[in-house]
Structure 1
Amino acid sequence: MNNFSKLNLSKEFLKNLDSLEFIKMTPIQEKSLPLSLENKDLIAQAKTGSGKTVAFSIPIVNKLNVKDFKIQSLILAPTRELANQIAENLRKLSRHIHNVKVLTLCGGVPFKPQVVSLFHGAHIIVGTPGRVLKHIKEENIVLSGINTLVLDEADKMLDMGFYDDIMEIIETLPKERQTLLFSATYEKNIEDLATNILKNPSLVKIENEEKTIINQTFYEVLEEDKASIIPALISSNKAKSILIFCNMKITCDKLADDLYDMGLDVLTLHSDLEQKQRDETIVLFSNKSYPILIATDVASRGLHIDDVDLVINYDLSLDEKIHTHRIGRTARAGKGGLAISLYTTNELDRVELIKDNFANIKDDDISNIEDDLSYKIDSNFRTIFINGGKKHKLRAGDILGALTAGIGLQKDDIGKIDILDFCSYVAINKEKIDFVLKELSKSKIKGKYYRIYEK
């Protein structure tokens, strides 16, 4: 029963899922979809990376009436990054239906353009609680047609203090609706929230995913030795995509400088960066243009960064919950993963607390790390920036055509294509970057010239 084809979905929907290479369901999808497709309220406990976005998006798309041009579904998420990724997933999952409008309402971006977009209408809203509530209070949004409410990363939203905002939003929604609550944990605060907003919900749990599929190694080190052993940790594990967590922004920047001085290409992600920079950083790392991302815990949850080979806890996490979310970045959708944690002598108590909550943990000595000096820590791709995006009616196919049929690039030399509202990013074989910049700059994409440069 773990094939999507077994679900009661239209042929067009199944064909679209197949084109997206969604064949077999993850455990959370397999357990939740038969219930949610029957319009039942649901509490689903599953870790980050388990495939829950697809699990709650399929029922939304399945019941969507595109001819009824009003807001039918509302999805609340803790961060703008997660909201944007959910919206992108919804657009892909609904592309077999013409003219579906998905709108994001998040902080960190101008308010007035959102008001204009709301005036023009939407079928699905994805947003952060604070910004959605502000639009409600200013009467910019009509939610009387809502038939589905989703709370994604509900525990994270409560940790961020959004409980009152969520309850205030729910007060404005129709009582007759389907409510789906997804959370990595199911503690007392989540239970209380669920009791207040769901009707006879089914409970689905996918437990201990990280504990069983992530191998963890802990190394005791001196603080001053941490940065110098990073290259050896990477080369000895032959990792190509590495996510390093620090507890403070200043540590991220210092480590980035140290690794850069060692000849490594790195990106940083923390809250001091403007939202545009954060979005771009996520694109450049997820499309494999840079091998290393150094981040604070802003990246430990709510980001869909797949195929991370290695997570390094440069700073030991402040508690076991944060540790869970961090290492979960390297085991998404059931894939195995590897996590390494560095700690100093004065952190032994915290180490023991973390170890009590996980299996597959071993201690090792840093002297046992075999640095493979022949291993090149680098990416095969680099990224070009194009100053045109969705608002210019650019599609991935247009860019792909301009690169292949237009200038003669081979498909194997083209990686991930990310199209944002006003710009696009394309991963290109780094050996072909100069050729692409030269040729594409003097070629038209969909009948128009665009500014193009390397990021």
Structure 2
Amino acid sequence: MIGVNKPTNGHFKGQTKPTGQQSGLHGTSQLPSAPIIRSSIPQSSGGIKFGDDWKKCLELPQKDNRVKTSDVTSTKGNEFEDYCLKRELLMGIFEMGWEKPSPIQEESIPIALSGRDILARAKNGTGKSGAYLIPLLERIDLKKDHIQAIVMVPTRELALQVSQISIQISKHLGGVKVMATTGGTNLRDDIMRLDEIVHVVIATPGRILDLIKKGVAKVNKAQIMVMDEADKLLSQDFVILIEDIISFLPKDRQILLYSATFPISVQKFMNKHLKKPYEINLMEELTLKGITQYYAYVTEKQKVHCLNTLFSRLQINQSIIFCNSTQRVELLAKKITQLGYSCFYIHAKMMQEYRNRVFHDFRNGLCRNLVCTDLFTRGIDIQAVNVVINFDFPKSAETYLHRIGRSGRFGHLGLAINLITSDDRYNLKSIEDQLVTDIKPIPGSIDKSLYVAEYHSVDPDDDDEILNKLMCG
């Protein structure tokens, strides 16, 4: 029997056995991170004089030479310099490793800079965060010491992610103050932080509304409000809060809506709050081109065996495994550990402090597998994830779309595998029809070039029988 340590706040640690997860690291080892090309440039651009070749002084991440799909490469050929952005902002953009604008960024940045409202649809993982953060940060006036922009997001993890990107992009701007505020954290800390200068607030609706009504977050001069994952923010869970928040904003504010999908209710919201919005629709198809989708037909009792087979055969960099309930998340994470694989788990019933730790550690590559609920389906961008497994098949096409969008980020390749029981077969067909996509039966062997960046053809030494037992017969 493999020993299992007591789970600690979403972290299961067990013995790790050699598997098909072949990057040379197992268990809680650190995944390789991109090396940084160092230079002597100070963190501020103050040392760069007019006429200097400022690009030579940047701390650029290693160039990403992985193959990218047309989801992010089908552009008009614009450069970030074309938008007349501040040099200091361009420095932050390039040091993020963003070389050229993606299609949604090309369409969105110049319109957002003009001050016009936007309603934008684009696929998960194609650069929506940059599409609104770049013009938002460009328009921040450091001479004004009040809140100038609000970014609304539906989950705490997404708020932390967006704030981290904002801080990185703006690090050369010389004093842009970014604050993340979400439920589940100490309200007093937020009140104290807002007593200082804050230019940009990234928030979940309930917490920012609470701070506004307490008179602590003064948003009456905020010129920009962004709604990321706007379809979720316009759902019954949040729309009343959003309406309330907007009532505190100035009448001449700019509202930017970004999402992969929009419900019918968005039309009512748009008519009420947006002024002649510029509409962007890059959704000729709903699913990312780089994600290959398979299903394995199993019984409920065979699911763990199938998952074990997948772990032993696939070349997983990092994987996210979805369950439909918090109880099943913890049970599955424990079972995975008993099988000899280390994993983390995360769900909405965990304390926020522990959720933050799990999210941070998984993002930094401290574990290869994460079991979670749909808490993790919204906007979470972890580039190392190349496999998503639906241990429990979702009920809706919208949830399915957001789940599989956790792999294949920014035009890269990814694999989505669905464990389907007899109860799921009609739902599978319905989701295929709604998304106009093809979820194929899992083959006897899976070409690594479909989901492993360094592979361009099937490894000739690969076992021809790879995954041949996935039907679990």
TM-score norm. by structure 2 comes to 0.75
Does the 8 Å CA contact 1:211/1:360 hold for their aligned counterparts?
A: no
Letter in 2 for 1:73: A
1:225 correspondence with 2:302: yes
Matched, 1:190 2:273: no
- Aligned counterparts of 1:54 and 1:29: Cα–Cα separation in 2: 7
Shift of 1:303: 1.9
Residue 39 in structure 1 maps to residue 96 in structure 2: no
SS in 2 for 1:125: strand
- Residue 246 of structure 2 corresponds to 170
Amino acid at match of 1:261: Q
What do the CA deviations read for 1:97-146 (whole angstroms, capped 9, x no partner)?
12221112211111112111112231111111111111121111212221
Q: Are residues 1:359 and 2:359 paired?
A: no
**Percent of aligned pairs with the same amino acid:** 33
Q: RCO higher in 1 or 2 (8 Å CA, sep ≥ 6)?
A: 2
Query: Given the superposition, is the C-alpha separation of residues 369 and 345 from structure 1 closer, same or farther in structure 2, using an over 3 Å criterion?
Result: farther
Partner residue in 2 for 1:312: 389
Report the structure, 1 or 2, having the larger strand content. Answer: 1
Matches within 5 A, 1:83-122: 83-122=159-198
SS in 2 for 1:172: coil
2:279 aligned with 1:203: yes
User: Quick check: 2:104–2:131 contact (8 Å CA) kept in 1?
Assistant: yes
Out of 399, 414, 421, the residue aligned to residue 337 of structure 1 is 414
Q: Deviations along 1:226-279, whole A, 9 cap, x unmatched?
A: 111213223433112111000011111111121111110111111221111111
By how many angstroms is 1:331 displaced? 1.8
Post-superposition offset of 1:369: 6.0
Shift of 1:213: 2.7
Residues 258 and 369 of structure 1, relative CA distance in 2, 3 Å threshold: farther
1:278 aligns with 2:358: no
Inter-partner Cα distance in structure 2 for 1:210 and 1:34: 26
Contact 1:103 1:122 in 2 (8 A): yes
Q: Distance in 1 between matches of 2:240 and 2:327?
A: 32
SS of the residue corresponding to residue 330 of structure 1 reads coil
SS in 2 for 1:271: coil
Give the distance between the partners of 2:117 and 2:239, measured in 1 at CA: 19
* Aligned AA (2:366): S
CA separation in 2, counterparts of 1:18 and 1:324?
A: 30
> SS of the residue aligned with 2:440?
strand
Assess if the C-alpha contact under 8 Å between 2:181 and 2:190 holds in 1.
Answer: yes
Give the superposition deviation at 1:306: 2.0
Cα distance in 1 for partners of 2:438, 2:106 equals 26
Q: Residue in 1 aligned with 2:71?
A: none
Structure 2 residue 254 is matched with structure 1 residue 254 = no
Q: CA deviation at 1:317?
A: 0.5
Question: Which is worse superposed, 97-106 or 208-217?
Answer: 208-217
TM superposition outliers: structure 1 runs of 4+ over 3 Å:
none
Normalising to structure 1: TM-score of the pair?
A: 0.78
Q: 1:316·1:342 contact (CA, 8 Å) conserved in 2?
A: yes
Give the 3-state SS of the residue equivalent to 2:379 in structure 1: coil
1:64 to 133, 140, 148: 140
Q: What one-letter code is carried by the residue in structure 2 that aligns with 1:29?
A: Q
Gapped regions of structure 2 (runs ≥ 5): 1-76, 449-473
Tell whether the 8 Å contact from 1:103 to 1:126 is kept in structure 2 after alignment.
Answer: yes
CA contact (8 A) 1:4 1:22 kept: no
Task: Give the drift of 1:304.
Answer: 2.2
Residues 361/321 of structure 1: CA separation in 2 closer, same or farther (3 Å cut): same
Equivalent residues of 1:26, 1:334 under 8 A apart: no
2:412 aligned partner, one-letter code: K
SS where residue 385 of structure 2 aligns? coil
Write the distance in 2 (CA, Å) between the matches of 1:211 and 1:80. 25
Count of residue pairs brought into register by the alignment: 369
**What's the offset of the Cα at 1:209?**
5.0
| CA distance in structure 1 between the partners assigned to 2:185 and 2:374 by the alignment | 21
Q: Which runs of 5+ in 1 are unaligned?
A: 373-455
What is residue 423 of structure 1 aligned with on the other side? none
Which residue of 1 is the match for residue 35 of structure 2?
none
Write the distance in 1 (CA, Å) between the matches of 2:121 and 2:406.
Answer: 17
Structure 2 counterparts to residues 394-413 of structure 1, below 5 A: none
1:138 is aligned to: 214
Counterpart-to-counterpart distance in 2, 1:231 and 1:25: 40
Q: Is the 8 A contact 2:255 2:274 kept in 1?
A: yes
Q: Cα gap change, 1:20/1:211 in structure 2, threshold over 3 Å: closer, same or farther?
A: closer
Specify the alignment match of 1:436 in structure 2.
Answer: none
Q: In the alignment, is the contact (CA less than 8 A) between 1:211 and 1:359 conserved in 2?
A: no
User: Match of 2:37?
Assistant: none
Q: Which residue of 1 aligns with 2:225?
A: 149
Report the equivalent of 1:268.
Answer: 345
1:266·1:292 contact (CA, 8 Å) conserved in 2?
yes
1:78 is displaced (CA, Å) by: 0.8
C-alpha deviation, 1:30, in angstroms: 1.5
Q: State the match for 2:293 in structure 1.
A: 216
Is residue 78 from structure 1 mapped to residue 154 from structure 2 by the alignment? yes
DSSP-derived class of the 1:64 partner: coil
1:211 positional shift = 4.8
**Distance between the aligned counterparts of 2:305 and 2:407, measured in 1?**
23
Q: Given that residues 155 and 378 in structure 2 are in contact (C-alpha distance below 8 angstroms), is that contact kept between their aligned partners in structure 1?
A: no
Q: Which residue identity is paired with 2:141?
A: N
Residue 55 of structure 2 is matched in structure 1 by: none
Report how far residue 309 of structure 1 moved: 0.9
1:21 — aligned with what?
97
